[in-house]
Amino acid sequence: MDYEQLGRTGTSVSRIVLGTMNFGDRTSEEDAFAIMDRALELGINFFDTANAYGGASGRGATEEIIGRWLTARPGVRDDLVLATKVHSPMRDRDGGGSVVNARGASAWQVRREAIASLRRLQTDRIDLYQFHHIDRHISWHELWQSMEVLVAGGEVVYTGSSNFAAWNIAQANEIAAQRHFLGLVSEQSLYNLTQRSIELEVIPAAQSYGLGILPWSPLAGGLLSGGSKDAEARSAAEGIRSQREERGAQLDAYESFARERGWTPSALGLAWLLHQPGVTGPIVGPRTVQQLESAVSALDISLSADDLAALDEMFPGPGGQAPEAYAW
């Protein structure tokens, strides 16, 4: 396994990040335990989840599965960098209730959900507590005050963001600096060969402020996984069959490119991300141990300048960084 510093921090994390969104939904608890066990064996020390994950098992179920796994394996916790998120509502509206103040990043919500996540995860700390989305109704002074309390109390070590625009990152970290607080150290963004818009501003901002980029949906929901039955099932389930049809010739060329070099399409998609500036590691969401092992094989792929140029031609990006990408 290869490791990278998490942004500008002193913490080393694996370059493959174990995403757990399927746990409790499309992956049983037994299979989730097997995946996490194998991840440790492979040297993966960075696990990512969210308070709302759980799917069919209900919000919070994924954190609970991880918590039971940690409890069953004494001594493992300190080997991990455990990340979770806050923003989504954790309960539905009912006839007499409201979720107005049970979502987002208000001081009350952040503190409440941090305590709830710690309880479900059965741990004493969250190593990376991430804002799952920008909350435009909350001032950064309120938000940072909440995080300062959590960090001072030892419940949180670092803070990160997800789905932030570049100016959100700049604003957040400038205000954090005014408060003598570390601020954001990572950003989770949608990033893959088919979706490269963060190259315009988010990646340059992240690099400038010392944030590690953690790409989610690195294989575009299955588009870049090749023609396997599993990939086709995922594509159908996630409503992207039309994209597969629209990109048919492009995907055929991509899959041929991979197989001519002895690589699987999915490993190539992850390897491409590992070669991009600012990327700490893609978040993979395996449903089986075999899928996890396939993801780790991306670390063995070294892409030449010609390979990268060919992939750029197949999947053109926005043209580089703004404003040069569209101006001069």
Catalogue the active-site residues: 53
Q: How does 26-63 read in b/e, with b if 16+ C-beta sit within 10 Å?
A: ebeeebbbebbebbeebebbbbbbbbbbbbebebbbbb
Distance, in Å, from the CA atom of 172 to the CA atom of 166, rounded to the nearest integer, reads 10
48 phi and psi angles, rounded to 5 deg: -120, 135
Q: Which residue has the tokens 């409790």?
A: 24
Distance, in Å, from the CA atom of 103 to the CA atom of 136, rounded to the nearest integer, reads 12
Distance, in Å, from the CA atom of 112 to the CA atom of 124, rounded to the nearest integer, reads 15
Of 224, 197, 206, the closest CA to residue 311 belongs to 224
Pair type for strands 81-86 and 3-5: unpaired
Q: What is the token pair recorded at 217?
A: 């949906």
214 phi and psi angles, rounded to 5 deg: -120, 95
18 phi and psi angles, rounded to 5 deg: -80, 110
